[in-house]
Structure formats: C-alpha cells, structure tokens
Amino acid sequence: MISKEFCQEMLEVGLNVPEMVEHFMDSESMFLKYLYKFFESADSVVLELTSAAEKEDYQNMLFTAHSLKGLAGNIGLNGVYLPAKKIVDDIRADDHSECGEDFRKLQENYYRAAGIAKKYKTEL
C-alpha cells in the first residue's frame, strides 16, 4: 500500500500519485513498476542533459529535454515535465534566456523525486 507520506512528498515535486494510480487502472503495483523504470531510464538522460546544459549545447539540450519530457509525462511527474517542456519550447523559439534556470528547476525536481522514490522503495 502506498503511504500517505509518499503521496505528500511526491506531490511537492509535481506528482499526484493517487491520480496516476487511477491512470494505471487503479493498480498501485503497476504504477510503482513504471515509476521505478522511469528513474532507471531517465538517469542517463538527465546526465546527458546536464552535460549539454553545462556546454550550452542547445541542440543536444533540445533533444534530451524532449526525451525527458516524454518519460516524465508518462508517469505524471510534472516537476520534471513542465520545465523540460519549457526548455524544448524556448529552444525551438530560439530563446535561450531561461534555459539555465529551467534546467536547474528540472534537475532539482528530478533528484528530489528520485530521492523520495528511493527512500520509500523498501517500505512500499
């Protein structure tokens, strides 16, 4: 059973757990399976995005942020999805002025969410 504390902490990084469990046919186990698969898949993408952001390589940022946007959107992690979407939209519009700040938000929310997921993994 998913704890109320887990739900509250994930909500702080933009993930409405009860809503997403419902999206996964009311199966907590299926939701958790995909949540943990998300972090396994997204870790390398976040590292690639970090490298691109440090180099101000906007084409690679566009590519990796777009990938991360899709992954985060699938599990409803809006704290990652929304900044990734903004990065993609801004780069496509040739506006790089907020990419650094959006990347920092994305990175902070991603690692907070990963930490929360890891903290509760043994308890779930």
**Residue with token string 């994930």:** 10
- DSSP alpha helices (H): ranges in 1-124? 4-11, 17-23, 28-55, 58-75, 78-92, 99-121
- Helix, strand or coil for residue 76? coil
pLDDT of residue 12: 97
Q: Which of 82, 74, 75, 70 is nearest to 108 (CA)?
A: 82
What is the tens place of the pLDDT at every residue in 7-59? Answer: 999 999 999 999 999 999 999 999 999 999 999 999 999 999 999 999 999 99
Average pLDDT over residues 59-85: 97
Delineate the domains of the chain, giving CATH numbers in brackets: 4-13+29-121 (1.20.120.160)
Whole-prediction pTM: 0.93
Q: Name every residue whose Cβ is closer than 8 Å to that of residue 106 and which is 6 or more positions away in sequence.
A: 49, 65, 68, 79, 80, 83, 84, 87
What is the tens place of the pLDDT at every residue in 33-47? Answer: 999 999 999 999 999
